[in-house]
Chain A
């Protein structure tokens, strides 16, 4: 289920994105970052054309589609992870290094190396897989994926405190940060709520402090079911707030919350609910009630 959810989300994102338009941008603006520096310019020259990017998109759609359905799962998840790592590297070579998609990158890598097509997959329906005895083989990748997502929030809070110190909680910080991201028309959204923040700036340290505390407590969601529900709900609210106030949205982070859902428990509940529905006798219809025996 986690594989289907994660790969399905990335599949939709890729399917709905225009790669050929990206291929029209000048390759001379590219600044390969990190591991992307290892690749030759000739490869980028070939890829960053409308045709090259369209071909690349087709490859990604096929591999992510197969990974979502669990068809040739082992191969499809590995190809998807590799292609997505490369794609995100290309995007970061154009702009800055934001971390929205990075947990999805790591989670795809974990899925590529885990037996994630053994149950909920076409491979299973075709009888090409079998469940393994050791529960840790299925449990550990889930734990690792949760840790990776929690790390993104936890380390983000620690870095803010390390770099800005308690000054991060100053009354001007949130309004200034929000206004800075609301001035241009280069962000994905053009909300102007940031300009109202100076009027309530004396209260903003409370919001910023609560957000920092939430990020620092995010690791609790790994182990505690009740904390998980609260932390993830706040997370959705947090990301919506950054979208409206700062025009910065992290859809991949929200989508990756799928790794925190206990799918076994969820499916058991759905099954028991369905069983109850089947066993319960149908109430007599109005016609039956009105008709004498």
Chain B
């Protein structure tokens, strides 16, 4: 395919090309300036990322979680959530941690249902992991929906076990802290 050679369209083509160049200039500014600001202030402001993965607080341990299910036969199985909600690839650990810490109640504009729940607990503290039960039930229902009604492998409950890791690389890999269980 050759390039356009029609002289009648030259002016029109040049004007269009110039519009593209102006568009590129604006695009570069709109993308790069917020990215540089995100970097300068080390702040993620969607859709501009500060690339803060692979950083950790070196002097602190952390809590971690294991998701498990209990089948109708009483067997306890590991339930990696990537097999249940694959869309959240790479994010399940932060979703669970945020649910345990009630982070959806710590934003400026609460979901109306969260606002109602928070209002009902004015004066006393909101229970820890207030919405975790719904999350565990949702995962359990997704798991069960893939099995026949009569399957003994269906779950009757989903459990989240929390452990604390002290951050010592040569030490204990974790101590049990607490557990939450959602009946299906």
- Which residues of A does B touch, CB under 8 Å? 17-19, 21-22, 24-37, 41, 44, 85, 88-89, 91-92, 94-100, 102, 105-106, 109-110, 113-115, 119, 124, 130-134, 136-137, 140-141, 144, 147-148, 151-152, 155-156, 158-160, 162-164, 167, 170, 172-173, 175-177, 179-181, 183-188, 190, 195, 197-198, 201, 242, 248-249
Contact with A along B92-124 (1 / 0, CB 8 A): 111110110001101111011110000000000
Q: A21-B85, A97-B49, A109-B31 are in contact. Are A184 and B90 (CB under 8 A)?
A: no
Asked if residues B65 and A186 are in contact (CB atoms below 8 Å), the reply is yes
> Interface extent on B, as a size class?
35 or more
Select B87's contact among A91, A109, A190, beta carbons within 8 Å: A91
Assuming the contacts A97-B44, A187-B93, A188-B89, asked whether A31 and B31 have C-beta atoms less than 8 A apart, the reply is no
Complexed CA–CA distance, A235 and B1 (Å): 36
| Known interface pairs A28-B134, A35-B47; 13 further A-B residue pairs with C-beta atoms within 8 A, sorted by A's residue number | A26-B135, A31-B104, A34-B46, A85-B47, A98-B53, A99-B52, A113-B23, A115-B20, A133-B3, A144-B28, A187-B92, A195-B173, A248-B53
- Partner of A144 from the list B24, B49, B56 (CB cut-off 8 Å) is B24
Q: A113 and B91: CB pair below 8 A?
A: no
Closest A residue by C-beta to B44 = A97
Bound: A33/B111 CA distance, A: 13
A residues less than 8 Å from B27 (CB atoms) = 109-110, 113, 144
Of A22, A172, A175, A201, which one neighbours B85 at CB under 8 angstroms? A22
Contacts of A195 in B (CB 8 A): 173
What are 22 of the A-B contact pairs (CB < 8 Å)? Answer: A24-B85, A26-B135, A29-B134, A31-B104, A31-B107, A37-B108, A41-B111, A109-B27, A131-B1, A137-B20, A159-B55, A175-B169, A177-B54, A179-B165, A181-B93, A183-B64, A183-B165, A183-B174, A184-B93, A185-B66, A187-B90, A201-B169
Say yes or no for B21: interface residue by CB 8 A criterion: yes
- Name the CB-closest residue of B to A26: B134
Within 8 A of A (CB), among B15-50: 16-17, 20-21, 23-24, 27-28, 31-32, 35, 39, 42, 44-50
